[in-house]
Amino acid sequence: MPNLECRMYEPQFPEVDAPVMIQVKHIADMGAYVSLLEYNNIEGMILFSELSRRRIRSISSLIKVGRQEPSMVLRVDRDKGYIDLSKRRVSEEEALTCEDRYNKSKLVHSIMRHAAETLEVDLEPLYERIGWPLYRKYGHAFEAFKLIVTDPDGVLDVLTYEEKEIGPDGQEVTKVVPAVTPEVKDALVKNIRRRMTPQPLKIQADVEMKCFQFDGVLHIKEAMKKAEAAGNADCPVKIKLVAPPLYVLTTQTLDKEQGIAVLTNATKVCAETIEKHKGKLVVKEAARAVSERDDKLFADTIAKLKLAGQEVDGDEDSEEEEDTGMGDVDFTKPGVGTD
């Protein structure tokens, strides 16, 4: 079985004064034993005195088994493998930076591990030949992986490593060979594209639009066409009726800010057009990105509105009911219906 355990970064230990992500393993008499998630779960310790700048009233409120959070490296004993850490010395800015780096490194690690598992090779040699050189060149392998989505050859084909072998004369010879074989490249690129290809965001705005003038329906259709014309190739705008007077404007884009700006402008154009015909547009929900869950809830709302607008079964029968207000009267007989 291949060995799939490996640290995320090239150095075996973190540097002093560097923030790292830890997970609390267990709490002892003097402090908490933790594992360093980015360094193959090597053990470290946080003394109780390093938990908080304030007076400690309850240990359980400050640290819990299983929790993941940033900590600052205080001391590293490379010979014995001891690492002392501090929670209280991590600033808010350092914590945010650490969490962002860890989330990126975790994704890179997952992709590298999947490739090693698929190819049935050890993980560390993959890091030595591909992962860590990309960290050195791009600052973080995550940035290189983003480029691989569209240009795998430009990122991977230039990677090389030195391989030693014994020559014909019995002397050791160092050769420079490509770091990425076709099999490794195929496994990496497939997984990177599956995990890191940007997904378009759905931007949505909800409005109420009314026009009680003559040909009001035509004026509303004109306003809808103007709104859709305000879109562009990157952010095409669509507007549809949900249930009078509710309409929804949508677009899909990779750029959230651009999508919101385009949809906001489309809403404005739609309002100006309908107001020229003495109609009115009220924004119920401004342009915003919606998740799949939001989209499903909105679809359910539409379904309920449509259902509520349908006629109930009894309506048709009531229109066809026989008028029996006069009873059974025969108007052909003389004198009927006269004084």
Indicate whether 19 belongs to any domain: yes
Res 326: pLDDT: 40
Res 298: pLDDT: 63
More confident residue, 101 or 295: 101
Which range of residues forms the domain containing residue 48?
Answer: 1-53+65-90
Res 25: pLDDT: 95
Which of 148, 171, 196 is at the close of a domain?
Answer: 196
Res 53: pLDDT: 75
74 and 26 belong to one structural domain? yes
Residue 123's CATH number: 1.10.150.190
Q: How confident is the model at residue 54 (pLDDT cuts 50, 70, 90)?
A: confident
303 and 246 belong to one structural domain? yes
What does the pLDDT look like over 206-222, one tens digit per residue? 999 999 988 999 999 99
Res 328: pLDDT: 44
pLDDT at 311 over 70: no
Indicate whether 336 belongs to any domain: no
pLDDT at 336 over 60: no
pLDDT at 41 over 90: yes
121 and 74 belong to one structural domain? no
Indicate whether 95 belongs to any domain: no
What's the domain count of the chain? 3
Which residues, including other chains, have CB under 8 Å from residue 271's CB and lie 6 or more apart?
A: 207, 223, 281
Q: How confident is the model at residue 230 (pLDDT cuts 50, 70, 90)?
A: very high
For the chain, the average pLDDT equals 87
pTM for this model (two decimals): 0.67
Res 322: pLDDT: 39
Q: What is the mean pLDDT of residues 120-126?
A: 96
122 and 213 belong to one structural domain? no
